[in-house]
Structure 1
Amino acid sequence: MYQFSGILVRVSQNASLAAYREALTAPGARGPVLTSLLARLPVAMVGIALLFYVQRVSGSYAAASLVSAGALVGVALGSVAQGRLVDKIGPTRILLVASALFSTMVTAEIIAIETGAPVWVMTVLGLALGTSQPMVGSSSRSLWTRLLPPGPARQAAYSYEAISMEVFFILGPGLAGLFTALPWAGTGVLLGAVCEVVGATGFALTRTVRAWRPRKDERASVGVLGALSTPGMRTVAIAALGFGVTIGFVEVAVPAAATHAGHEALGGLLLSVWSVSSVLFGVLYGSRPWPRPMYLRLPVLLGGFSVLVTLLAIPTTLAGLAVALFVVGTLITPQAMTHSAAIEEVALPGTATEAFGWVITAVTVGLAFGQSVSGQLVEAFGPPAAFLASAASGLVLASVVWLRRHSVRDGRQWMENAASCTRDEVELAGR
């Protein structure tokens, strides 16, 4: 198994078919790849299914968006905490404990919804549910640094991680919508949770993952901020936040548009449309990303995505909305790929799992904000207002990333300087 310590280096971002093949057939990769697929299949399903479930029972999108946002905030908290622990002691014990807690919290949430508990109770339970959700994605992403050396194969592995997640975003919302339409609206939440627990447990118990032994000399000296100690990593997190905010608004507004049109069950299927174009364009983008420099790629992709989101406010029919979603979706996977690849350039050695946890945290905080505000806008002004607010929020954060772009450009030099610093000096330099 390949161990890499020291400063991460800039490598080619191209991902050929041969590189994909080399990554997925690497020794020790098969078990974690298959089980992580099962664990991540319901990632996009559980949150949306929870939103649909609460809305179906309570009749309120505002209440449903708050509960769903609570779960997303929980994911944001849990991803960093689990990531830091995984970097220190390995993923097996962390994922097994998280799976047990997650099972308990899902059961409690279902009971609360079925018994008509107050919204704040359901929201708190959603927070606990999200916090305990086993973070297989960050562990899976970090595992590639141990299986593959820096180079095209590793970059292909990161592209595979982003593309596979988008496939789940295709399946997840559609399945959530279908399951919600069944006689019991909680079917999607329950089945998604079972799938996630089984997959996470299987991933944690594979031989490759059980052999994960963190090295003390592998982790850089960092303070309480951990992977966020570097300015470049904070810029990546802001880009991920903007990505999450724009999507969060849309994830509530699209189902609401379907409901307003009298076709509630189509809400999840409509959300799947933009994931189809995301995967198709993502495969092409991975072979020749644009723009090339990472420090330009982050703000340009977020800004372009935000501009495209304005198209969603134009259609007056669900068919038109589906076409607009297909166009907008082209820039989803490229952003996910870029966030993952950027970690190579801005995260301190030995903090890869936590760094990816911060990306997940930023995205989920953005989703939580977008969903909670979108629910209020939809009920007060209708879905078009939420689409326009989504675009405006994304453009504001894209501007912030543009102003901070040099922190990503100079990320490798910052880490080279930090390698010889003490923990206190790293924290001071990061500020």
Structure 2
Amino acid sequence: MTVTARRTVETPIPTRVGYGALLRTPGAWTFLVPAFAARLPYAMLSLGIVLLVFDTHGSYGTAGAVAAVSAVSQAFVGPQTGRLADRYGQAAVLLPSVALHALSVGALIALALGHAPVWTLFLAAAPAGASVPQIGAMVRARWVGKLSADSPKTLNTAFAFESVTDEFTFVVGPVLATAIATGVSPSAGLIAEAALTVVGGLAFAAQRRTAPARHPRVPGARRVSALASPGVRLLAGSFLGVGTVFGAMQVSVTAFAEAAGQPGVSGTVYGIFAGGSMLAGVLYGMVAWRRSARQRMLGSYALLVLGCSTLWAMPNLTALAVAGLVCGLAIAPTLITGYTLVETLVADGAKTEAFTWLTGAIGLGLAAGSTAAGQLIDGYGASAGFVVPVAGAGLGLAALVSLRRLLVAPSTPSRTVARSSASPALAGVGKG
């Protein structure tokens, strides 16, 4: 009897939620397909800017700086559009965003081809980045809305699937941007990016049935940003480190391939890096983890730092591709776990904003990474740019280790981002 009683309180063996069951969720494919087309340009914009501006102005430092302005603008404006999407609905935000993006990218292309002063490129790059549709955050918010809050394993699988999709876009996007820019013209890569943004964004916005509930402002209520949560700030800081890896890799791999006399290979090498992340993400989502999300976050981030530490020493493109593959294996597990953690730290009315802060942090890190790598490459050669990923990721790991206590979800009564004295039923009226 004692043995039987003891067994009943043992921790049950975790169950695995497969991707097949996830994708059979009613209505999932109606938003997943257009979302893929709309998020593919996210991986094309920065690299497309680098390729175009380097071709017209002849400096990786300048090219990286223009790409950085775009990424910084996206990082700071993106969360505000996420908050607006939570309040007014996703379609209401997407429609003006894609229109502004197309106009801004067109202006950037015209200015670059006209060899306009660099400051004018910055003026065009800022709205181009600010208007990038936050599709990844919006898709994750739709999964949260469709899946039961009592099914954390299913939600974790959904976040794994989304991170794999993100990584797949980073496999296809750079290869596509490079192939179009080198095979057609440097401006053609950005033209394709803008076209995909418009078509995919409008198609995604049209899927209103699967949009999450709107959370309009309630008179007398005090709405607090998702960034008010210390745990969200910590995760955003750690994602900033991941972003430096993306940004520095894009510029450094491009410069390394150029120096090796094979500029067309840069997209393939970067795609292999992203492919390693995609493979790890697929496997990560199939595992029923026993360890807590916080422990997994620390472990995967430590592996990321370790993987980045060898990039600068690679002697040729083949070795760099292998090292990039190993480094990429830690990316998706880190991102999946981060999105899983942040979902537990904020209330329903701020989830899109919270996801967008993480995405924006990646963009801000991408800006810092591309700028720093571009300056190092101009001054010390292509390999010098690979110092940036290990430095950025190392700082992110230090923050996570020292402040890991902030990643514990608050108790249910205090899990409030949008506070109101009104009835909770009023917070979720209407669909976006």
Compute the displacement of 1:49 (Å).
1.2
Residues 42 and 193 of structure 1 are in contact (CA less than 8 Å); yes or no, is this contact kept in structure 2?
yes
Compute the displacement of 1:200 (Å).
0.7
Please tell me the residue identity of whatever aligns with 2:413.
Answer: E
Provide the residue aligned with 1:155 in structure 2.
156
Please tell me the residue identity of whatever aligns with 1:367.
Answer: L
Provide the residue aligned with 1:381 in structure 2.
380
Alignment of 1:304-383 (within 5 A): 304-383=303-382
After TM superposition, the score normalised by the length of structure 2 is 0.88
Distance in 2 (CA, whole Å) between partners of 1:293 and 1:252 is 35
Please tell me the residue identity of whatever aligns with 2:70.
Answer: A
Distance in 1 (CA, whole Å) between partners of 2:249 and 2:61 is 14
Provide the residue aligned with 1:214 in structure 2.
214
Change (3 A) 1:258 1:344: same
Change (3 A) 1:163 1:418: closer
Distance in 1 (CA, whole Å) between partners of 2:161 and 2:286 is 12
Compute the displacement of 1:81 (Å).
1.2
Secondary structure of residue in 2 paired with 1:412: coil
Is 2:48 the partner of 1:49? yes
Residues 69 and 367 of structure 1 are in contact (CA less than 8 Å); yes or no, is this contact kept in structure 2?
yes
Compute the displacement of 1:208 (Å).
1.6
Is 2:105 the partner of 1:106? yes
Provide the residue aligned with 1:412 in structure 2.
410
Change (3 A) 1:290 1:241: farther
Distance in 2 (CA, whole Å) between partners of 1:291 and 1:378 is 43
Change (3 A) 1:231 1:222: farther
Alignment of 1:9-408 (within 5 A): 16-17=17-18, 20-150=19-149, 151=151, 152-209=153-210, 212-215=212-215, 223=223, 226-288=225-287, 292-408=291-407
Secondary structure of residue in 1 paired with 2:309: helix
Residues 13 and 286 of structure 1 are in contact (CA less than 8 Å); yes or no, is this contact kept in structure 2?
no
Compute the displacement of 1:301 (Å).
2.1
Please tell me the residue identity of whatever aligns with 2:186.
Answer: A
Range with greater deviation from structure 2 (260-269 or 289-298): 289-298
Change (3 A) 1:218 1:404: farther
Change (3 A) 1:398 1:13: farther
Compute the displacement of 1:309 (Å).
0.8
Distance in 2 (CA, whole Å) between partners of 1:315 and 1:256 is 14
Compute the displacement of 1:420 (Å).
11
Distance in 1 (CA, whole Å) between partners of 2:142 and 2:415 is 24
After TM superposition, the score normalised by the length of structure 1 is 0.89
Compute the displacement of 1:191 (Å).
0.8
Please tell me the residue identity of whatever aligns with 1:27.
Answer: P
Q: How many residues align?
A: 407
Residues 72 and 368 of structure 1 are in contact (CA less than 8 Å); yes or no, is this contact kept in structure 2?
yes
Secondary structure of residue in 2 paired with 1:134: coil
Compute the displacement of 1:310 (Å).
1.6
Unaligned runs of 5+ in 2: 1-12, 421-432
Compute the displacement of 1:40 (Å).
1.1
Compute the displacement of 1:213 (Å).
3.9
Change (3 A) 1:278 1:418: closer
Distance in 1 (CA, whole Å) between partners of 2:417 and 2:161 is 34
Compute the displacement of 1:23 (Å).
2.5
Compute the displacement of 1:219 (Å).
13
Residues 28 and 147 of structure 1 are in contact (CA less than 8 Å); yes or no, is this contact kept in structure 2?
no
1:332-363 C-alpha deviation (Å, 9 max, x unpaired): 11112112111222123311100001001111
Change (3 A) 1:130 1:420: closer
Change (3 A) 1:376 1:382: same
Please tell me the residue identity of whatever aligns with 2:414.
Answer: N
Range with greater deviation from structure 2 (292-301 or 362-371): 292-301
Please tell me the residue identity of whatever aligns with 2:168.
Answer: V
Compute the displacement of 1:250 (Å).
1.8
Secondary structure of residue in 2 paired with 1:206: coil
Distance in 2 (CA, whole Å) between partners of 1:377 and 1:420 is 41
1:171-224 C-alpha deviation (Å, 9 max, x unpaired): 111111111112421111101110111011011012424x64414599996655
Residues 180 and 188 of structure 2 are in contact (CA less than 8 Å); yes or no, is this contact kept in structure 1?
yes
Distance in 2 (CA, whole Å) between partners of 1:421 and 1:360 is 21
Please tell me the residue identity of whatever aligns with 1:47.
Answer: S
Distance in 1 (CA, whole Å) between partners of 2:255 and 2:14 is 38
Distance in 2 (CA, whole Å) between partners of 1:169 and 1:97 is 25
Please tell me the residue identity of whatever aligns with 1:417.
Answer: S
Distance in 2 (CA, whole Å) between partners of 1:301 and 1:310 is 15
Distance in 1 (CA, whole Å) between partners of 2:159 and 2:212 is 19
Identity, % of aligned positions: 29
Residues 94 and 201 of structure 2 are in contact (CA less than 8 Å); yes or no, is this contact kept in structure 1?
yes
Change (3 A) 1:39 1:405: same
Change (3 A) 1:421 1:58: closer
Compute the displacement of 1:36 (Å).
0.5
Compute the displacement of 1:373 (Å).
0.8
Compute the displacement of 1:65 (Å).
0.3
Please tell me the residue identity of whatever aligns with 2:296.
Answer: R
Unaligned runs of 5+ in 1: 1-11, 424-431
